[in-house]
Amino acid sequence: MEQIAIAQFGMGPIGVESIRLAAQMPWARIVGAVDIDPAKIGRSLTELTGIESLAGARIYGSFEELWSHVQPPVVLHTAGSKAASSIEQITPIVQRGVNVASTCEELLYPKLRAADAAARIDVLARQTGSRIVGTGVNPGFVMDVLPVCMTGVSRQVSRISAQRVVNASTRRMPLQKKIGSGMNPDVFRQLFTEGKAGHAGFRESVALIAHCMGWVLDEVTETCDPVVARHDIQTQHFRVERGLTCGLHQQCVGKMNGEVKIDLDLKMYLDADNPHDAVQIAGDPPLDVLVRGGVAGDHATVAALINVVPRLLQAPAGMRLMTELSVPAWAGRSAGASS
């Protein structure tokens, strides 16, 4: 089996875990990483991941520096949530004809907030023969790709709804911070209005569903309220006193001709009861799916990133949507594609 050389861009918690999972795949070979943290540059991946076989793979301060030592056909990008800044980061990568799988939430449907940049990177990718996709769990699967797949057995669809309840106490520190853990509720509300707090990519999920259904939405509204702790909460990363923010309740609704066509509801807070994911398709036949316990966000996000690589390499060049690739599937046995 010919292995695919892979480099990692961004060595935060998700990036490190991505390397660990990719290193388990028989079809993947980790050759290096990129990060801007001076404390990480120059170190071996063994030091950060604990995987002895990666002693020869190093962390570089830029993609160009990495490229001068190794030329991987695939880069895993886990370094941001904004489409515009992520496209800026991956442009030098795409210029080299390298394929990019990213966890950037806004790259799920990049033309929503960065239409010009998305169009430019699409043209560049087609010229250089590279492929780009934004993936993940939410956005990227639970509240967008999964509902779209469910409609594959529908004769008619009038509305798509999804709900997600996440116990954030089990999640990584950056996520617990992003949902406002320990903040004054009024401060959290203000930060959300400024785009500095809350779940990223909700509008992209709505946009992707609408795109796939052929619905032209005339109104999309997004709201977010803090969930206030009813008792003192202690996690591995935060202590939250009663009355302070311990998470969020975020909703995004898309309407067409005044009728609700898409409604997504996310509750993500510390010590949340009954975590689960649910999707309902109103139509013929009506469908109602419940995932008890929900999809474990951090681990599953990394899995989505690694599993998408073989399917991405089989896709046409350009800026791709998750729904333009083959059906998501575990890629643990074989890549199914060559580098």
What does the pLDDT look like over 38-72, one tens digit per residue?
A: 999 999 999 999 999 999 999 999 999 999 999 99
- Which candidate, 290, 289, 276, 299, places its Cα nearest to that of 167? 276
Residue 338 reports pLDDT greater than 50: no
- Per domain, the residue ranges of the chain are 4-137+299-324, 145-294
| Paired tokens of 233 | 């909460």
**Mind listing the pLDDT tens digit for each residue in 17-39?**
999 999 999 999 999 999 999 99
Determine contact, residues 238/170, Cβ cutoff 8 Å.
no
As a whole number of angstroms, the distance between CA 89 and CA 229 comes to 38
Average pLDDT over the chain, rounded to whole? Answer: 95
**What mean pLDDT is predicted for residues 164-171?**
91
As a whole number of angstroms, the distance between CA 156 and CA 286 comes to 9
Residue 337 reports pLDDT greater than 80: no
What pLDDT is recorded for position 171? 81
As a whole number of angstroms, the distance between CA 93 and CA 63 comes to 7
Strand partners, 133: 101, 320
**What mean pLDDT is predicted for residues 145-152?**
98
Q: What is the pTM assigned to this prediction?
A: 0.94
Residue 339: which pLDDT band, with cuts at 50, 70 and 90? very low
Q: Is 201 exposed, middle or buried (0-12, 13-18, 19+ CB in 10 A)?
A: buried
As a whole number of angstroms, the distance between CA 5 and CA 66 comes to 13
Determine contact, residues 34/66, Cβ cutoff 8 Å.
yes
Residue 335: which pLDDT band, with cuts at 50, 70 and 90? low
Residue 1: which pLDDT band, with cuts at 50, 70 and 90? low
**Mind listing the pLDDT tens digit for each residue in 83-130?**
999 999 999 999 999 999 999 999 999 999 999 999 999 999 999 999
**Mind listing the pLDDT tens digit for each residue in 307-334?**
999 999 999 999 999 999 999 999 987 6
For the chain, percent helix, then strand, then coil, each to nearest 5? 35, 30, 35
Q: Which amino acid is at 91?
A: T
**What mean pLDDT is predicted for residues 232-258?**
95
Instruction: Quote the strand ranges of 115-258, DSSP E.
Output: 131-134, 156-167, 219-228, 233-234, 239-240, 245-256
Determine contact, residues 126/99, Cβ cutoff 8 Å.
no
Mark 171-193 as b/e (b = at least 16 C-beta within 10 Å): bbeebbebbbbbbebeebbebbe
As a whole number of angstroms, the distance between CA 280 and CA 287 comes to 5
As a whole number of angstroms, the distance between CA 70 and CA 50 comes to 21
Residue 226: which pLDDT band, with cuts at 50, 70 and 90? very high
Of the chain, the percentage scoring pLDDT greater than 70 comes to: 98
If one looks up domain 4-137+299-324 in CATH, what number appears?
Answer: 3.40.50.720
Task: Indicate the range of 13-17, 177-181, 277-281 predicted with least confidence.
Answer: 177-181
